Structure 1
Amino acid sequence: MTEPTDDPERIFRRWPRVRARWTLTQLWRRVRMPARRRRWLRENTQRLAPYAKPAAPTGTGPALALGDFSGCSGLSRAALYELDRLRHDYPDLTTLDLAAVKRGGPKPLAVDGPEIGTLILLSPPDSYATLLSAVPPARIARARRIGLWVWETPIFPADWRFGLDIVHEIWTPSEYSRRAIADAAGDIPVLLRPHAVTAPTRVQPFDRAAYDVPEDAFLGVAIMDLCSCPARKNPWAHVAAWQAAFGDDPSRVLLMKVRVSKRTRCVRAELDEMVAGAPNIRVFEKEMEPAEIAGLQAAADVYLSLHRAEGYGLNIRECLEAGAEVLATDFSANAEYGPAYPNYHPLPYRLTPYRDWTGHYPDGEFEWAEVRIDAAAEALRERAAAWAAAERAAPATPPAARHA
């Protein structure tokens, strides 16, 4: 059984493995990044100047929500939850789905129509230039504007500051995120508005056989987007904790659904190296529709999130709502809502300085959580033992029916 350590990523920061991260392209990107961030801030400020908020909104007319409502990301699912609530609050709500544009499609043509009384932007500020290009400035010149923002570190990002000139009010789903945003928002109200997570209306049954998972195996699931800052999601800890808990036991299977970018593809190679030859850990990349995600979550005997910080942790909350047993680093947003659920199992951690070779966060002087791998492994063994006892006590049921 693998000896646990709280920082299994460290072997990939050492020579010679570190060469896969510090390519010439990556080094050049880090050198240019400060100038690029200043340019992004300048460009967003200039492009959004025609959309500056009115000092005293007096607009009348329907509400309009802009966002990505048909994508495969957690941000898209969060926007959909918010839409359900907004339709109740604003019976005249209209929407514009800009998912295709956010994925690199053609810029939208500005849509004419009646004056908008309330504008709700269900996407981060760095997408505002794209979202607002779909609306002529005159339609929202007098509108009250609301932004749904989520942030995952204690320091508000400087390159989001242009967004403060666009919105009159900010909604955010956790107190952890609210504190970071409020520090920079000045007199703009920053309201706590947890995501309205509900049971999914569509669940696509998960096919264990497609992932070579035995029907009678204890199944762990982890879902993470590693495109921008892999260090925050901490995938290496997931592998290390599972190996420390179960070794190579093929009746204890972990599925890790990941998304990587060209810049972070080396992390997929690192994970593949860690699980090489292991019969009980599968790392895969697959875009999944919300119904597929719901099916994967529902199939989990345990959901694992050994993150270092979360602005909300949508997968954690969805799995808690679905009744799955959830093991999560007890830090940041999920530490707020998790204790209300009997299936939430908090994991201890220590605070450690931010460290990330991608330089995703320009303000590096903050701390986030380093989960205790030994505690995670022990909690996994406890959950597997409880699952096995429940399986033995349950009436005889075909395995396929148990996981339908």
Structure 2
Amino acid sequence: MLAVISGCTATPAARLADASVLAASFKRHHPGSEFTILVVDGHALEENAIADARLLSLDDVGLSLEDAHRLPKIYRPRELCAAVKPWLLGTLLGSGASAVAYFDCNVELFAPFDDVCEHARKHQVILNPRIGAMEAEPFEHDPGFIAVSGEAEPFLGWWCRKLGEAFEQSRSINQRLLDAVPQAFRPHVLRDAGCGVAYWNLPGRELTAAGHHYQVDRVPLRSFQFSGRDVLQLSDSPAVRQICTEHCEKVLAMERDLSEQFPRGFGYLPSCLKIDRHMRSLYRTALARYKAAQGPEPPSPFAPGGEPAFLKWLNQRSTDGNPEITRYMLAVHANRDDIRAAFPDPLGRDALAFHDWFLAFGWHEENPSPLLLPSDAASAPNAVPAPHHNNGQSRGPAVNVAGFFRAELGIGESARLLVDALEAAGVPYNTISYGGTANRQAHHFEERPSTERPVDINIVCVNPDQLPTFAQNIGPEFLDGRYTIGVWFWEVDEFPKPLHRAFDYVDEVWAASDFVRDALLKVSPKPVFKFQLPVQVPETDPTQSRQTLGLPARFCFLFTFDFLSVFDRKNPLGVIAAFKRAFAPGEGAVLVLKSINGNHRMRAFEKLRFAASTHPDIHFSDQYLSATEKNTLTAQCDCYVSLHRSEGFGLTMAEAMALGKPVIATGYSGNLEFMTAENSYLCGYTEVEVGDDCDPYPPGAHWAEPDVAQAAVWMRHVFDHPGEARARGERAAADIRSLHSPAVAARTIAERIRIIRDRLAAIAAMRRG
């Protein structure tokens, strides 16, 4: 009988498009073989949703019912994928496969892996070295690939037992476990330079392309892993640019096909309440105590009917006295340095102050759900109203919010943050995603369907240059009979006449900074209201390190930007000039420039590449990352730098501050909404004319020319005084939490909506009278 290899992967639902591209490539090179995708955070899957693969959930791979319910609470989806590999492989071997190969979901195959079946005749386990075909000691396996033979039951049993020990103690998964597979299982290591090519092993090797056929060091490419970040300037290779572009196009096409097919996963409770870090840490700790016979078993929300018991457990009182301090509140206290410093004794002398802070601010900042409020919240003197969650039970009209919710650009993130503020304010809303942008539309966003309430207000997060096209595309029924608010960002002091027609589509404009408001007020025939844009602490991946990100193990300055946001305004050349002035080659610091859309602005792209190439400690990468990957990159840097000429708000700076990073920036424009001399390092500037070739800005408008010499002094200062810099970053994070959270923003937005509705009601009454 001819041996046939089966393929598989495990993936979060959010990466299902990547896994589908992998499945299609596997089937293309192994016709007649089966491919299986385990969706680790999927509750309900349609069997035929993926043409090239069958879909499984955690209930289908032989885990005990206990582990199937517990593991999603212990591990994040990415770690959960690593945790369940042996059970997935064992399930497929039990179905009769001669050999099964596992690939990470972000891999694509370019040639067959038929030799795995031949190796499986003699070996239980087939691994791939992390650094390619080279012999290296100590051996490190590539966690993105493993294959097992039909005789691998002893090995899989050993692997399951090792992982089970981690489960028992709620420990992180050791990805290096298979670096030392016992020889009793006859492991075999592939020595093929074409297997497992990735960002960490490509430097020093040559990838070439002949059409759509690729070779690595003259060996046919068999698999490429697209999870990397090319801070080593891999874009110097045309073949790398080609293969990454082609893969991205395939994933985007698959995402469009799969959109709306899959529900929220185990990142949420069955009621769609988000599982936050405090719930996860509480559950891990309690489960470890239960395993050690030191406490009762915590309830799992994924067991049948388990969510009410889980919420009751979270809200259990920690003391019998007043005020009420719950288990969840203490977890928030334990996980936040600023709150521990403010309220060092939450069950004693600081109990009342901590309780009142949680009701007024804490629950909004962490997980704004009334389900997590203590039972005495309604009677507390400083309590805020519990927000509605658009479940059809709250009264009053709803608000339509339209914007680039799935786009990976600043105004798209602003729309998502505005929704967070509406959620915190308890304002019912619907969302309408708009796709009219050249930026990638790969940000995961759960559309809020119609609340089936009447809608009296539209909030449109689309800038004035695109607003007429938006209005034409969405149709007149969206605007007719509703009060429409335009949320606009603008970056210079003059608002040009060609954009004035955008005022015809709105009744009011909202600006996120005094800088934008002042520019619009000069010419606006409509009211201009300054609203507070909330800033959230960005979600990061704690399993990633500098090593896994490919960042040098030195003091790292970072700047991220979009070439489509006007290259001269973002001014990355100024950052390079300041870094060169501050540091000679090899002095210990590195500068990482992370951009997107360089392929759309090739002249500027080549100008930046040339400037970066003149200093060996400057690294430049132009590629899309997921939001979590981008945030994790920021979290791993030592200092964020923005020598912009102007910003409407400056969200990347605000996010870096929220992550506790010291920020060096031009002391001009919208970033002064949240930056001060006490929480950041501000650089002086000279106001200059914009000049030619900076559309859409008028040449005679003004912006800042930052003081590069002062920026260099600040960069050197931060490098030489890391303790002071960390302290300033901590001050920045505290200021963002206390002054710019969704709860704070919610108050100004809710009040403005109330004023608008009162005014509309008064006008309607006058007309009736």
What is the TM-score with the length of structure 1 in the denominator? 0.73
Equivalent residue for 1:142, pick from 481, 489, 500: 481
Distance 2:544 2:579 in 1: 21
Q: Could you list the per-position Cα deviations for residues 339-394 of structure 1 after superposition, in whole angstroms to 9, with x for gaps in the alignment?
A: 1x7431111111222134x2413522132211111111111111001127999xxx
1:179 aligns with 2:518: yes
Greater length-normalized contact order (CA 8 Å, ≥ 6 residues apart): 1
Equivalent residue for 2:417, pick from 81, 84, 95: 81
Contact 2:559 2:593 in 1 (8 A): yes
Contact 2:549 2:633 in 1 (8 A): no
Q: Structure 2 matches for 1:193-204, cutoff 5 A?
A: 193-203=531-541
Q: Structure 2 matches for 1:71-110, cutoff 5 A?
A: 71-89=407-425, 91-99=427-435, 101-103=436-438
Contact 1:66 1:131 in 2 (8 A): no
SS at match of 1:126: coil
Distance 1:224 1:364 in 2: 22
Q: Which residue of 1 aligns with 2:717?
A: 382
Contact 2:407 2:439 in 1 (8 A): no
Offset, 1:178: 0.4
Distance 1:114 1:102 in 2: 30
Contact 2:491 2:516 in 1 (8 A): yes
Structure 1 unmatched ranges of 5 or more = 1-59, 392-404
Q: Counterpart amino acid of 2:603?
A: C
Contact 1:170 1:191 in 2 (8 A): yes
Q: Which residue of 2 aligns with 1:227?
A: 564
Distance 2:698 2:664 in 1: 29
Equivalent residue for 1:258, pick from 575, 595, 603: 595
Q: Could you list the per-position Cα deviations for residues 171-229 of structure 1 after superposition, in whole angstroms to 9, with x for gaps in the alignment?
A: 1111011011111112x2111113100212454665533664332x1011001122252
Q: Counterpart amino acid of 1:156?
A: F
1:151 aligns with 2:481: no
SS at match of 2:465: helix
Structure with greater Cα Rg: 2
Q: Which residue of 1 aligns with 2:158?
A: none
Are the structure 2 counterparts of residues 241 and 205 from structure 1 closer, same or farther at C-alpha, using a change threshold of 3 Å?
Answer: farther
Distance 1:197 1:313 in 2: 11
Q: Structure 2 matches for 1:26-175, cutoff 5 A?
A: 61-89=397-425, 91-99=427-435, 101-103=436-438, 116-133=455-472, 135-175=474-514
Q: Which residue of 2 aligns with 1:190?
A: 528
Q: Could you list the per-position Cα deviations for residues 50-87 of structure 1 after superposition, in whole angstroms to 9, with x for gaps in the alignment?
A: xxxxxxxxxx9431111111221122111111111123
1:243 aligns with 2:580: yes
Distance 1:96 1:389 in 2: 45
Q: Which residue of 2 aligns with 1:274?
A: 611
Q: Counterpart amino acid of 1:385?
A: D
Aligned length: 323
Distance 1:279 1:104 in 2: 30
SS at match of 1:63: strand
Contact 1:327 1:379 in 2 (8 A): yes
Deviates more, 1:290-299 or 1:130-139: 130-139
Contact 1:352 1:367 in 2 (8 A): yes
Q: Could you list the per-position Cα deviations for residues 283-310 of structure 1 after superposition, in whole angstroms to 9, with x for gaps in the alignment?
A: 1111122212211221121100011111
Q: Counterpart amino acid of 2:417?
A: Y
Are the structure 2 counterparts of residues 388 and 282 from structure 1 closer, same or farther at C-alpha, using a change threshold of 3 Å?
Answer: farther
State the identity %. Answer: 25
Q: Counterpart amino acid of 2:403?
A: G
Q: Counterpart amino acid of 1:290?
A: A
Offset, 1:240: 0.9
Q: Which residue of 1 aligns with 2:695?
A: 360
Contact 2:597 2:623 in 1 (8 A): no
Distance 2:725 2:416 in 1: 35
Q: Counterpart amino acid of 1:316?
A: M
Are the structure 2 counterparts of residues 82 and 105 from structure 1 closer, same or farther at C-alpha, using a change threshold of 3 Å?
Answer: closer
Structure 2 unmatched ranges of 5 or more = 1-395, 442-448, 727-769
Distance 1:205 1:364 in 2: 47
Contact 1:353 1:368 in 2 (8 A): yes
Are the structure 2 counterparts of residues 270 and 88 from structure 1 closer, same or farther at C-alpha, using a change threshold of 3 Å?
Answer: same
Q: Counterpart amino acid of 1:284?
A: S
SS at match of 1:368: strand
What is the TM-score with the length of structure 2 in the denominator? 0.39
Distance 1:269 1:92 in 2: 47
Deviates more, 1:137-146 or 1:307-316: 137-146
Q: Which residue of 2 aligns with 1:56?
A: none
Q: Counterpart amino acid of 2:714?
A: A
Q: Which residue of 2 aligns with 1:285?
A: 622
Distance 2:416 2:596 in 1: 21
SS at match of 2:455: coil
Contact 1:102 1:130 in 2 (8 A): no
Distance 1:190 1:200 in 2: 29
Q: Counterpart amino acid of 2:641?
A: L
Q: Counterpart amino acid of 1:214?
A: P
Are the structure 2 counterparts of residues 152 and 253 from structure 1 closer, same or farther at C-alpha, using a change threshold of 3 Å?
Answer: same
Q: Which residue of 1 aligns with 2:632?
A: 295
SS at match of 1:69: coil
Distance 2:725 2:665 in 1: 22
Equivalent residue for 1:348, pick from 684, 698, 701: 684
Distance 1:225 1:75 in 2: 12
Are the structure 2 counterparts of residues 170 and 86 from structure 1 closer, same or farther at C-alpha, using a change threshold of 3 Å?
Answer: same
Contact 2:468 2:505 in 1 (8 A): no
